[in-house]
Amino acid sequence: MKTNQLADAIRILSMDGVQKANSGHPGAPMGMADIAEVLWRKIMAHNPKNPSWANRDRFVLSNGHASMLLYSLLHLSGYDLGIEDLKQFRQLHSRTAGHPEYKLTPGVETTTGPLGQGLANAVGMALAEKMLAAQFNKEGFPVVNHYTYTFLGDGCLMEGISHEAASLAGTWKLGKLIAIYDNNGISIDGEVKGWLTDDTAKRFEAYGWQVFRDVNGHDSDAIQKVISAARYETSKPTLIMCKTTIGYGSPNKGGKESCHGAPLGSDEVALARKQLGWEYDEPFFVPEDIYKAWDQTERGGKLEHKWNELFASYEKAYPAEAAELKRRLNGDLPTDWEKAFNDVVKQWQTEKVKVASRKASQMTLDVLGKLLPELVGGSADLSPSNLTQWKGVQDFDPATGKGTYLRFGVREFGMTAVLNGMALHGGFLTYGATFLMFMEYARNALRMSSLMGLRNVMVFTHDSIGLGEDGPTHQPVEQIASLRMTPNMTTWRPCDAVETACAWKSAVKRTNGPTALLLSRQNLAPQERTDEQLSQISKGAYVLYQSADKPEVILIGTGSEVSLALEAGKKLASEGKAVRVVSMPSPEVFEQQDAAYKEAVLPASVKARVAVEAAWTDYWYKYVGLDGKVIGMHSFGESGPAEKLYEYFGITADKVYEAAASLIK
């Protein structure tokens, strides 16, 4: 077997890593080694000594189970990932996790594993590059000028998100996106011809992609030529379909599903070494001459130095633009934006604006759009309902790359994963929107956003049975609790325009995770607040009303149900009861406060507590205790006017009053 020893180094490290861990996927790394060697050594612009270099090419391993391929590439290229790290593959607290994890391993651009999402992330990265280039590049100064490459497999293409993301990429004319398909014909169940009979090439051509068919994935010259040719197409993304043999080099398991997701076995590893002509039996050993040929530090340093010189000239010619680009890539917010924003919020508090919180969100975007040029986002075909289009925003134009409003069509999953990719790229503050019910379509991308700690804002409107006549298919019940139970996700369910604005401010300032804004269709009454109460909204919960300093009962509400708690509370107060009403728009933020503040809002001595929310009730027992009561949903909704539904399901001020009165007795 004639092999490329530089690519074989990837195969050796990959099969050794999987074998030592006794867990993993050796097949794809061995099959894609030749493609990876060409891309990482000869084409891709990257600097191992500075993995965060702004103008680097992005690389996404969408078929994330092939993680040993990426770890081998990072190690061989000169990134801060030593041989001992490779030996600790899939072990607790190692930097070489089972699937690539963002922030854990230098050089890993995104966490991949759930198939198809890496492709969608890559679409987002390529879109971010195109938008930034349109906003900042000047004639003779292409300071934003890089490619996004992604490897993907059969599984990525079978997942529905690949259709959503690929269709958007073609529509947006992302000419600097190059996807390389490991067309080995094998998945866990065996030969995919029994369940994957799509004409992939025609499918992607129909999306508006450039497609190269039947490329020999083990011919380095052919691979280099086709990737180089792909880069000449500037108005279409490219799919390169590489014919490969899974487990290439393994004499008995190569080309078979047995090498997809299990170690080869020590005997087969030894046989593979012989078949590849690898002269060294010691596991994880790579000779110095191969390391030297692989080392990308000198080449990468020169590429970055050349770009630094270009940027220095750009900075002299366009100092304001250079400073703005730096600020945005650093993730910093503009100076004094918060003061200007707070002035508007105070004005709304004075004016007592009565609107639905979805409308209040749009009003907030009208303000933020003028203060934050990095703001970019859109809706999954629900702009008139989600109210995410703000005054003065321009639709994204694929021909020019200008405009910052994105129309994603009915693609909730693709939208969210694309926004994750944009957030990962940097330079933008991203937001997306749909009905809260349909966050279910985007659920896994939301989880990935939380897992990676990305600043991404999701606007989920029509947040309860209050949407009314569309009925139970559109009325969220369990979705709010599901979001709140997601680690590192922050939710806000504001009760009026002021709380909505404060929720947006919190989302903008948060840098270590996503925020979900849960917004109403129906109008919400404005609440009276002192300056102190206004400042306490940012703490996630605060005392909105009380009839005495030492309450005998506490009523907790969120969103549209705060007014119900307030009405019940005032009725109790009129009867001489010591009552406190707490608005808790964000339980997660409240939990981050110190013990003294939490005790001040919800004193442990007060056992009589009632929570009210038009959502699944179980979540609230953590705040009311087993002896408390929760007014909310215990079933799916019904079709009908909102006021009739609230009455039918017993989510009323009278029910809150009755529950509280029974606890006081």
What does the alpha-carbon distance between residue 579 and residue 592 come to, in Å, rounded to a whole number? 25
Is the pLDDT assigned to residue 137 strictly greater than 90? yes
Task: Say if residues 561 and 611 touch (Cβ distance below 8 Å).
Answer: no
Tokens of 582: 């707490």
Range 215-223 average pLDDT: 98
Q: Is 664 left (phi over 0), alpha (psi -120 to 50) or beta?
A: alpha
pLDDT band for position 302 (50/70/90)?
Answer: very high
Question: Three-state SS for 610?
Answer: strand
Rounded CA separation 309/293 (Å): 27
pLDDT greater than 70 at residue 338: yes
Q: What percentage of the chain exceeds 90 in pLDDT?
A: 99
Q: How confident is the model at residue 50 (pLDDT cuts 50, 70, 90)?
A: very high
Q: What is the pLDDT of residues 384-433, one digit of tens each?
A: 999 999 999 999 999 999 999 999 999 999 999 999 999 999 999 999 99
Residue among 261, 251, 119, 249 at smallest CA distance from 190? 261
Q: Specify the DSSP class assigned to residue 386.
A: I
Pick from 78, 79, 66, 80: which is nearest to 17 by CA?
A: 66
Asked if residue 78 has pLDDT above 80, the reply is yes
Q: How far is Cα 218 from Cα 366, in angstroms, rounded to an integer? A: 53
Count of all residues that appear for the chain in the document: 665
Q: What ranges in 80-159 are assigned the alpha helix state H? A: 83-87, 117-136, 154-158
What is the arithmetic mean of pLDDT over 105-120? Answer: 98
pLDDT in tens, 161-192: 999 999 999 999 999 999 999 999 999 999 99
Cβ proximity of 241 and 222 under 8 Å: no
524: helix, coil or strand? strand
Residue reference for tokens 């005054």: 391
- Kindly report the backbone phi and psi dihedral angles of residue 357, in degrees, each rounded to the nearest multiple of 5, phi listed first: -70, -25
59 neighbors 109 (Cβ within 8 angstroms): yes
Angle between helices 297-317 and 319-330 (to 10 degrees): 130
Torsion angles phi and psi, residue 516, rounded to 5 = -110, 125
Closest CA to 16 of 95, 71, 61: 71
Sign of torsion, CA 542 435 131 42?
positive
SS (H, E, C) 283-341: CCCCCHHHHHHHCCHHHHHHHHHHHHHHHHHHHHHCHHHHHHHHHHHHCCCCCCHHHHH
By three-state DSSP, how is residue 631 classified? strand
Query: Coil, strand or helix: which one is 93?
Result: coil
* E strand residue ranges, 184-312: 186-187, 190-191, 210-216, 238-243
Torsion of CA 169, 171, 172, 178, to 10 degrees: 30
Which tens digit of pLDDT belongs to each residue from 573-604?
Answer: 999 999 999 999 999 999 999 999 999 999 99
* Beta-carbon contacts of residue 599 (< 8 Å; ≥ 6 apart): none
For residue 67, give every residue at least 6 positions away whose Cβ sits within 8 Å of its Cβ, in sequence order, or none: 24, 25, 61, 89, 96, 97, 98, 99, 100
Q: For residue 403, what are the CA distances in angstroms to 208, 387, 400, 459?
A: 21, 18, 9, 20
Per residue in 258-287, pLDDT (tens digit) is 999 999 999 999 999 999 999 999 999 999
pLDDT digits (tens, 9 = 90+) for 39-48: 999 999 999 9
pLDDT tens column, 433-479:
999 999 999 999 999 999 999 999 999 999 999 999 999 999 999 99
The pLDDT tens digits of the residues spanning 476-502 come to 999 999 999 999 999 999 999 999 999
Q: Express as a percent the part of the chain with pLDDT over 70.
A: 100
CA–CA distance, 13 with 282 (Å, rounded to integer):
11
Q: Environment class of residue 426 by beta-carbon count within 10 Å: exposed (0-12), middle (13-18) or buried (19+)?
A: middle
540: three-class secondary structure by DSSP: coil
pLDDT at position 374, please?
A: 98
Q: 598-611 pLDDT, tens per residue?
A: 999 999 999 999 99
Q: Is the dihedral of CA 610, 611, 615, 621 positive or negative?
A: negative
Strand 523-524 versus strand 355-356 pairing type: antiparallel
Query: DSSP label at 462?
Result: S
Average pLDDT over the chain reads 97
β-partners of residue 523 are: 356
The mean pLDDT value for 234-242 works out to 97
**Number of Cβ within a 10 Å radius of residue 288:** 7
Query: Which residue intervals of 510-649 are DSSP H helices?
Result: 531-536, 562-574, 587-591, 595-601, 621-624, 642-648
**Which residues 6+ apart lie within 8 Å of 509 measured at CB?**
333, 338
**Which segments of 473-527 does DSSP mark as H helices, in order?**
479-484, 497-509
Q: How confident is the model at residue 1 (pLDDT cuts 50, 70, 90)?
A: low
pLDDT at 352: 93
Catalytic machinery residues: 412
The answer, yes or no, to whether residue 3 has pLDDT greater than 80, is no
Would you place residue 665 in the very low, low, confident or very high pLDDT band (cuts 50, 70, 90)? confident
**Distance, CA of 306 to chain centre:** 32
- Of 434, 411, 521, give the one whose Cα is nearest residue 469: 521
